[in-house]
């Protein structure tokens, strides 16, 4: 299937095929469930380009996520230079950049979001805490949304009005995902000195982020409710795209609901551990969408 996907994606050069295969291994290792959903629910011609975009995002995040703020800022400047050189030359010594350059040649919107994402990374390397929902929204708009759109733009409709609705749905989806991320990773983020839960909400509840307690439980529930509101508002999102992409988007939203349920179950214990959806529940969700797609194709 993978070789056929490369053929359909227009990746025929032997070196590039090896490069895309390398990115596939990376993505499959760090985002197993997401890769499975893309492989099983998206058209084969799109799969290598999704892999390239996700691998680029992951590589960027990994490079700027280590060390003190000044070290992270320096790493971003160096990486930004390598990325821009790759696009200017149409080539790079790095396989991940060779792939994203080729993908952007086939899907020009990717290049636009590469630039937006790199600009947003300046906020990512600088922040130490999120003051309130307004600052969280700014973080989402500047960093999280461009990160999502690196991949989501591959699914975007051509019609202008549908595209506006699609982007708005993506915005609500990633805002929910970001809140869920900050709750799932609460204990790790607190240890790193970078809690993402808005500070004004922490103060309002009088919560201690380092140990379980009733106040932290109320804080988690409040943040989960806000994420749930955004997820509910994504209901029209799948209908904005081509029918061949709809099962994947439904699965993606469904996984976020499973993550949110897991966060609610964990509650105040998130002070000491992370959370995540049961693998069996995610598998059932994926199977349901695969079955629905097969019925649609067969009808």
DSSP string, the chain: -HHHHHHHTT--SHHHHHHHHHHHHHHHHH-HHHHHHHHHHS-TTTHHHHHHHHHHHHHHHHHTSSSSHHHHHHHHHHHHHHHHHHHHHT--SSHHHHHHHHHHHHSTHHHHHHHHHHHHHHHHHH-S---SHHHHHHHIIIIIHHHHHHHHTTT--SSHHHHHHHHHHHHHHHHHHHHHHHHHTHHHHHHTT---S-HHHHHHHT--TTS--HHHHHHHHHHHHHHHHHHHTTTTGGGGS-GGGHHHHHHHHHHHHHHHHHHHHHGGGGGT------HHHHHHHHHHHHHHHHHHHH-
Q: Where are the domains of the chain?
A: 1-126, 159-299
**Mean pLDDT on 236-249:** 95
Query: Which of 137, 88, 106, 116 shows the shortest CA–CA distance to 8?
Result: 106
A 10 A CB-CB count for 45 gives 15
Q: Which long-range contacts (CB under 8 A, 24 or more apart) does 151-155 make?
A: 151/50, 151/53, 151/54, 151/57, 153/107, 153/109, 153/110, 153/112, 153/113, 154/46, 154/49, 154/50, 154/53, 154/107, 154/109, 154/110, 155/46, 155/241, 155/242, 155/245, 155/248, 155/249
Q: Residue 201 — pLDDT band, cuts 50, 70, 90?
A: very high
Would you say residue 299 has pLDDT above 70?
Answer: no
> How many whole angstroms separate alpha carbon 282 and alpha carbon 27?
18
Average pLDDT over the chain, rounded to an integer: 94
pLDDT on residue 191: 93
Query: Which of 168, 160, 114 shows the shortest CA–CA distance to 141?
Result: 168
* pLDDT tens digits along 98-157: 999 999 999 999 999 999 999 999 999 988 899 999 999 999 999 999 999 999 999 999
pLDDT above 90 covers a percentage of the chain that reads: 85
Please give the model's pTM, rounded to 2 decimal places: 0.93
Would you say residue 171 has pLDDT above 90?
Answer: yes
* pLDDT tens digits along 64-106: 988 888 899 999 999 999 999 999 999 999 999 999 999 999 9
Q: Which CATH superfamily does the domain covering 159-299 fall into? A: Farnesyl Diphosphate Synthase (1.10.600.10)
Q: 60 Cβ partners below 8 Å, 6+ apart? A: 79, 117, 118, 121
> How many whole angstroms separate alpha carbon 83 and alpha carbon 79?
6
Would you say residue 265 has pLDDT above 70?
Answer: yes
* pLDDT tens digits along 248-261: 999 999 999 999 99
pLDDT on residue 298: 59
DSSP string, 161-189: HHHHHHHHHHHHHHHHHHHHHHHHTHHHH
A 10 A CB-CB count for 283 gives 12
């Amino acid at each position: 299937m993978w070789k056929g996907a490369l053929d359909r994606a227009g990746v025929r050069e032997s070196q590039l095929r090896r490069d895309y295969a390398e990115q596939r291994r990376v993505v499959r290792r760090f985002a197993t469930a997401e890769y499975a959903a893309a492989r099983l629910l998206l058209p084969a011609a799109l799969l290598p380009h999704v892999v390239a975009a996700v691998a680029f995002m992951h590589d960027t995040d990994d490079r700027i996520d280590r060390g003190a703020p000044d070290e992270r800022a320096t790493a971003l400047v160096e990486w930004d230079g390598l990325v821009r050189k790759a696009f200017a030359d149409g080539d790079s010594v790095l396989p991940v950049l060779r792939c994203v350059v080729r993908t952007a040649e086939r899907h020009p919107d990717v290049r636009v979001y590469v630039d937006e994402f790199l600009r947003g990374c300046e906020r990512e390397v600088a922040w130490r805490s999120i003051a309130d929902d307004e600052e969280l929204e700014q973080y989402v708009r500047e960093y999280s949304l461009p990160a999502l759109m690196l991949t989501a733009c591959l699914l975007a409709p051509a019609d202008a009005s549908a595209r506006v609705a699609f982007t708005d749905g993506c915005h609500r989806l990633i805002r929910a995902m970001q809140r869920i991320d900050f709750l799932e990773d609460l204990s790790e983020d607190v240890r790193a000195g970078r809690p993402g839960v808005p500070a004004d909400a922490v103060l309002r509840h009088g919560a201690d982020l380092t140990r379980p307690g009733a106040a932290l439980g109320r804080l988690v529930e409040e943040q989960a409710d806000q994420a749930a509101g955004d997820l509910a508002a994504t209901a029209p999102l799948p209908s904005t795209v081509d029918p061949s992409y709809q099962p994947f988007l439904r699965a993606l939203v469904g996984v976020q609901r499973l993550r949110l349920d897991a966060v609610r179950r964990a509650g105040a214990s998130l002070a000491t551990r992370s959370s995540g959806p049961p693998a069996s529940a995610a598998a059932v969700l994926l199977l349901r969408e695969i079955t629905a797609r097969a019925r649609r194709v067969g009808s």
